[in-house]
Amino acid sequence: MRIGVPKEIKNHEYRVGLVPAGVRELVAAGHQVFVQSSAGAGIGVVDAAYTAARAKIVATAKEAFDAAAMPPMAPATTSARISHAGRGSSPSLGRNAATISGDGVSP
């Protein structure tokens, strides 16, 4: 599965859909993860941490959504963000990577 992780756009929102440990688990299970640059900045996670976990860093949310079969999202996802996910995407409001991937792997 291809998973996209966009940067949060809501004002004063610092959550991120997936942390590097979750990326590492998903990649180890054979999935591809695309993370928008600076997606983890609000929680102090730099792009290099995602790259080390074997995620591909993309420049824009559109690239993350376009690359993904399923974009993970924090519960405060806005309706604008959901509509931006596009046709064929299934935004997940799950709490962890196992919920998103559906493979039963605990993050």
Report residue 78's pLDDT band, with 50, 70 and 90 as the boundaries: low
Q: Can you tell me the mean pLDDT for 30-56?
A: 97
Q: Can you tell me the mean pLDDT for 81-105?
A: 44
Across the strands, what pairs with 34? 4, 56
d(CA 95, CA 48): 23
The HSE-up count of residue 63 (CA atoms within 13 Å, CB side) is 12
pTM exceeding 0.75: no
4 vs 83, more confident: 4
Residue 106: pLDDT over 50: no
Comparing CA positions, the residue from 17, 20, 23 lying closest to residue 1 is: 23
